[in-house]
Chain A
């Protein structure tokens, strides 16, 4: 036997033969290479931009923008900065995506369920809807809704007038804007209390039904609470709400709130298009629930409506939600087609006009990509949370 002290423990392999250490070393090397790669890209980009005399940096965000924007959810005019145009565009993108997701989900669920209807006509109409709208490119649909709708709308001086408060013309749909007085806070408080009360009521009704088997019709009771409480508060505080009516002045209406045709066309196209995909997802989700479930529910004496609501949909949701997420992401990203019809979304305002006025493509495209990435990740996060919540229903 050898005489050195290694005989009292097994001889250790050199560190490059130790799988754990080797793995660690490789990871460090890869990481360093990736860092070096990006550092090279970064410095080379800066160098080249400087060499060609193209301005760099984010200082431009503090410069005055000097151009107008059609629609803004926050105060904006030409004297605000380029940074502000970013926010205006961002909010407009979020607005159309948010409304689009809600609308697309509602239409999608209705059409998806309708396609499985036993009524021949209803099922066929749903099929035709789906096959038509999901097979026409979205950009064409957006242009179609916009340029098909515009000529049908009258000139502001010949507006469609609904009770001197609502007007419809080629510049948009005008409606009264609420003007809140400070006492309106009480009404807001009443609304919040009413919502909390309804949540408590629903929970109580649920528990009671589990305990006694007696169903409680929460719908009408909830509605009563939701209407009555704020109404009482509103009257008691002396009706602290007035309306700012739109009025024809010169060429156009002033005052009130407006839904511009660009938003309407974009929203319509996005939700109708995405709804056709959601409808198919809903159908596949429902069909994924085995027919035995339906039969079992019928055997228990549940009617078709209740069967759908209590047995089929909750199980179908587990199949539907993950696919729904990607449709929501698609809709959000597709909203960037807004520029075609002049809706001032992030791409049109910021990656469009602002980019052109400042010429700082690298910074602006980077910021825009980050925004879409962030919005998409947030939607994913929320939907994953919802998916987990729904999955827990399984017993």
Chain B
């Protein structure tokens, strides 16, 4: 943990020290040469990125990486995962250890401007909430004056928490851990009254408790947390591939294309929007430097946004999170992708 962070920090320093400046398109070239996409994910967070006992990764962030691999190679399995703690993630991306970061990372001004990074879009709209033990008898976050709060280090959560308590004139004691595993363990052991994190994470962490029913998520959402994939600054070509991989999944859902019906639609559909996404007409993969069937491969191998969402965090998963803000704009949510044409 500690050790790995120092390694990637050292790697960054070494990279900054010796490397020549990168050029646009360098990442795609390097990825093609390696034969896989190196993707930074969490060390384990149900629904977002988690590996099972066979070392197979699942999650909505993992599927984002797979979508990029499918677009680039036409093969969603050509991706390798680097588990990173919240603290390690940016350094790992800056140093070139990973090609993209898909690790429920909040898009903020500081991160977009000071870290040499670019956010390629939002694959999950989240907000920070509080998880409390039921026997505490707390009904609202405004009753939390004086509470001990467990947090994961290196997140926007730390700052939002401080802001929230300051705004309400309340005191708190932060206990900051490196990894979510220790955070939830300390909460379970009674070290803190409250665990705070993005709401999606709270549901994911809650099912890791021995008795998930003993804890409850408070109704307050205290921040905006648009989570999305991140790439390095200065390589627009790669940035666009990641952005449009996400857009392809969202557009596919909007057009009603799923992994199950895409082959059928490919043969029968006359809708120009669908035909453009599948790569039968229009600009196809040209501008991105990808094959014509890039979007077809994403939907065929990974699925559209709805499939990915429901499978990992929605109804088809243990988390059972409702679409809410993450529904398409046509269904009352705010997920909206630029059209493929």
Contacts and interface: CB of A to CB of B under 8 A. Distances in A.
Contacts of A347: 2
B86 interface: yes
Contacts of A336: 2
A339 B161 contact: no
B2 A339 contact: yes
Interface stretch (A91-99, A184-192, A359-367): A359-367
B109 interface: no
Given A67-B162, A78-B166, A361-B13, A147 B176 contact: no
Contacts of A261: 191
B148 A252 contact: yes
A356 B17 contact: no
Interface string B87-122: 100110010000000000000001101111000000
Residue with the greatest number of chain A CB neighbours at <10 A, chosen from B22, B163, B177: B177
A348 B233 CA distance: 27
B116 A53 contact: yes
A337 B145 CA distance: 31
A37 to B, nearest CB: 11
Interface string B7-26: 00110110111110110000
A118 B320 CA distance: 66
B176 to A, nearest CB: 5
Given A55-B114, A362-B12, A362-B16, A249 B178 contact: no
A357 B176 CA distance: 14
A314 interface: no
Given A54-B94, A359-B90, A342 B193 contact: no
Interface string A50-93: 01111100000000001111100000001000000000000000
The A contact surface, by secondary structure, is helix
Given A52-B94, A68-B174, A252 B2 contact: no
Nearest to B112: A53
B158 A353 contact: yes
B175 interface: yes
Interface in A295-353: 336-337, 339-342, 344, 347-348, 351-353
Given A51-B234, A356-B86, A342 B186 contact: yes
B172 A342 contact: no
Contacts of B193: 251-252
Interface in B120-179: 136, 144-148, 150, 153-155, 158-159, 161-163, 166, 172-178
Contacts of A55: 114-115
A242 interface: no
A263 to B, nearest CB: 12
A127 interface: no
A52 B232 contact: yes
Contacts, number: 170
Interface residues of A, number: 52
Contacts of A213: none
A250 interface: yes
A119 interface: no
B21 to A, nearest CB: 5
Interface residues on B, range: 35 or more
B270 to A, nearest CB: 46
Contacts of B289: none
B26 to A, nearest CB: 12
B153 A155 contact: no
Nearest to B11: A361
A170 interface: yes
A251 B146 contact: yes
Contacts of B12: 361-362
A67 B176 CA distance: 11
Contacts of A54: 16, 94, 114-116
Nearest to B19: A48
Interface string B67-83: 00000000000000000
B164 to A, nearest CB: 11
B189 interface: yes
Contacts of B233: 52-53
A340 B2 contact: yes
B90 A356 contact: yes
Contacts of B15: 48
A121 to B, nearest CB: 35
Given A353-B154, A356-B87, A52 B116 contact: yes
A238 B154 CA distance: 50
Nearest to B135: A155
Nearest to B88: A356
Contact of B182 (A70, A254, A340, A353): A340
B209 to A, nearest CB: 14
A10 interface: no
A357 B90 contact: no
A266 to B, nearest CB: 13
Contacts of B185: 147
A344 to B, nearest CB: 7
A342 B175 contact: yes
B222 to A, nearest CB: 14
B25 to A, nearest CB: 15
A353 B191 contact: no
A179 B148 CA distance: 25
Interface stretch (A26-34, A39-47, A215-223, A267-275): A39-47
Interface in B263-299: none
A150 B186 contact: yes
Contacts of A250: 145-147
Contact of B191 (A53, A170, A251, A362): A170
Interface in A1-51: 41, 44-45, 47-49, 51
Contacts of A362: 12-13, 16
Contacts of B94: 52, 54, 359, 361
Given A53-B234, A147-B189, A356-B86, A262 B91 contact: no
B334 interface: no
B55 to A, nearest CB: 23
Nearest to A78: B162
B190 A262 contact: no
Contacts of B190: 150-151, 153, 155, 170
Contacts of B325: none
A357 to B, nearest CB: 7
Contacts of A151: 189-190
Interface in B238-273: none
28 contacts: A45-B13, A48-B16, A52-B233, A53-B113, A54-B16, A54-B114, A67-B174, A68-B174, A78-B166, A150-B191, A261-B191, A262-B175, A339-B1, A339-B153, A339-B177, A340-B182, A347-B2, A348-B153, A352-B154, A352-B178, A356-B86, A356-B154, A358-B110, A359-B90, A359-B94, A359-B114, A361-B91, A365-B13
